[in-house]
Amino acid sequence: MELLALLSSGKGSWGQVAGVINRGEWDNIILLGDDFAKRFTSEKDFEFIEIKGGSLLDLKDEVMKKLKGKIKGTEVALSIASGDGKEHMAIISALLSLPVGIRFSALTKDGLVFL
């Protein structure tokens, strides 16, 4: 399964994303974030896609355009522990419009879970 994760500008949530990356067996990892999020590092290979933001509709369109052709399967594990509601809505809407199925993923005290 492929992982798509949002990295917001606050480093505090990056630990959650790093945990999801490290605890899963991923065919492909795509991280979305702003210019600041480019600083994120991981031992596993990933593709970083910079998103600029703007209005909700602009962000959705930007994510759709930048993800088109990058997701190989029919569904992705989505980690949105980082970010805000506007970013979450835009990403979910973009994925469903591609269309791609979504399985929410999170790292909990019991390990990696899919919701």
CATH code (residue 71):
3.40.50.2000
Look at the chain and report how many structural domains it folds into: 1
Q: What integer pLDDT is reported at residue 91 of this predicted model?
A: 97
31 phi/psi in degrees, rounded to 5: -115, 135
Q: What is the DSSP string of 28-59?
A: EEEEEE-GGGGG---SS--EEEE----SHHHH
Residue ranges making up the domain that contains 94:
2-114
Q: What integer pLDDT is reported at residue 11 of this predicted model?
A: 55
Q: What is the mean pLDDT of each run of 10 residues along the chain (115 residues)?
A: 88 85 96 93 96 93 96 96 91 96 94 94
- CA dist 22 and 45 (Å) reads 11
Q: What integer pLDDT is reported at residue 13 of this predicted model?
A: 80
